[in-house]
Amino acid sequence: MAAAEVVDTQLMLGVGLIEKDTNGEVLWVWCYPSTTATLRNLLLRKCCLTDENKLLHPFVFGQYRRTWFYITTIEVPESSILKKVTHFSIVLTTKDFNPEKYAAFTRILCSLSEKFFSPCELVCEFLGLNLFYVCESSPHSLFFTFFPSSLTLQFLFLEDIVSQFGMETVILHTALMLKKRIVVYHPKIEAVQEFTRTLPALVWHRQDWTILHSYVHLNADELEALQMCTGYIAGFVDLEVSNRPDLYDVFVNLAESEITIAPLAKAEAMAMGKLHKEMGQLIVQSAEDPEKSDSQVIQDIALKTREIFTNLAPFSEVSADGEKRVLNLEALKQKRFPPATENFLYHLAAAEQMLKI
């Protein structure tokens, strides 16, 4: 096996099991290797078995302090050997974003749990996929080849977003370009995750999934971790987040199809002008083209985004230390762009760390 593949298989950090018994108690049963109390409590919170509304969410994922978590939950059939367990969840923590890969792996572990209910079996499977790729004929050796990171492109729903929000989609693009804070609300976690995981594609030139926090609770520790990020996309299922303007520059009420720009963000950096209108029209026209797939729409937006950076280039110069290019603010002002365009280009330079210190 190639070295790159070995590195890929070592992206998994840990595996754990959560059970709900016939008395309604939810317990963290075991994990491998050990984990912190903080992370354990967070994963219990993310697990749908602790929800009071008792809705079963087969698969959820998210990020906490640069650790990704993936949780698959199943109901135990009456025929199972697990007589005192009604539901259980398999939890994976990893270094990378790849929901499809880890959904498949957690389903494998769930099947093993139903059949053997043996922690040893699960740990062996985890280690087999994470460490021991020494035999090309091993049934594990092909597993990760079916789930390359590029697969995430096939599970984006950009055309659906544009269909729902039309020209307002450019607000999301602008916020992402400027590395602003986007909060998304919907009462259904599946809707939140489908929507939020697509948004990074609007700034495909960065290919940065670290900004995605697709499942956040209004918990002090989670919010503290979130607010340490420069910019982010954060998904919530609690409408109370709408009363927390300290958490967002742009608020998306997905259930009501509403996008709101916070007053301060609008005054400072998010005023819309001709440049934004052109980008919005490009996004809508591309997404409405029946001949184009989501990936082609993403390419169109990336090409238009590259034009914006091309427009910014003439107003940059090599920094004094010669290490990077920085914005020449006087040159930008002399161009006499419309105020909204000039303001956007200035804040874009700031987001790209092109301002002189």
pLDDT for res 157 = 84
Over its length of 357 residues, how does the chain's per-residue pLDDT go in tens digits?
333 344 444 678 888 899 898 888 999 988 888 889 999 999 999 998 887 767 889 999 999 999 999 999 988 877 666 678 888 899 999 998 989 888 988 888 877 766 655 566 666 666 666 554 433 444 444 455 555 555 565 567 899 999 999 999 999 999 999 999 999 999 999 999 999 999 999 999 888 999 999 999 999 999 999 999 989 999 999 999 999 999 999 999 999 999 999 999 998 899 999 999 999 999 999 999 999 988 899 999 999 999 998 888 888 887 767 677 888 889 999 988 899 999 999 999 999 888 876
Residues 277, 309: Cα–Cα separation, whole Å: 17
Contact indicator for 102, 92 with CB cutoff of 8 Å: yes
Instruction: Go through the chain and tell me how many residues it has.
Output: 357
Strand ranges of the sheet holding 59-64, from the earlier edge strand across to the other edge? 26-32, 12-21, 85-94, 67-75, 59-64
Peptide bond before residue 187 is cis, with ω within 30 degrees of 0? no
Q: Give, as one character, the DSSP assignment of residue 292.
A: -
Residues 156, 165: Cα–Cα separation, whole Å: 16
Q: Which residues contact residue 101 at a Cβ distance below 8 angstroms, ignoring those fewer than 6 apart?
A: 144, 147, 151
Q: Which of 104, 122, 102, 120 is nearest to 112 (CA)?
A: 122
Contact indicator for 278, 284 with CB cutoff of 8 Å: no
Burial group, residue 93, by CB count within 10 angstroms (0-12, 13-18, 19+):
buried
pLDDT for res 328 = 87
Q: Which of 232, 224, 248 is nearest to 179 (CA)?
A: 232
First to last CA, the chain: 47
Residues 355, 345: Cα–Cα separation, whole Å: 11
Count of C-beta atoms within a 10 Å radius of residue 354: 19
Can you give the residue ranges of every domain in the chain?
3-149, 152-268, 274-351
CATH number of 3-149: 3.30.450.200
Residue type at 46? Answer: K
Which residue has tokens 């049963």? 29
pLDDT for res 30 = 86
- Does the domain at 152-268 match CATH 3.30.980.10? Answer given as no
Predicted TM-score (pTM) of the model is: 0.88
Q: Which of 303, 302, 298 is nearest to 157 (CA)?
A: 298
Residues 310, 303: Cα–Cα separation, whole Å: 11
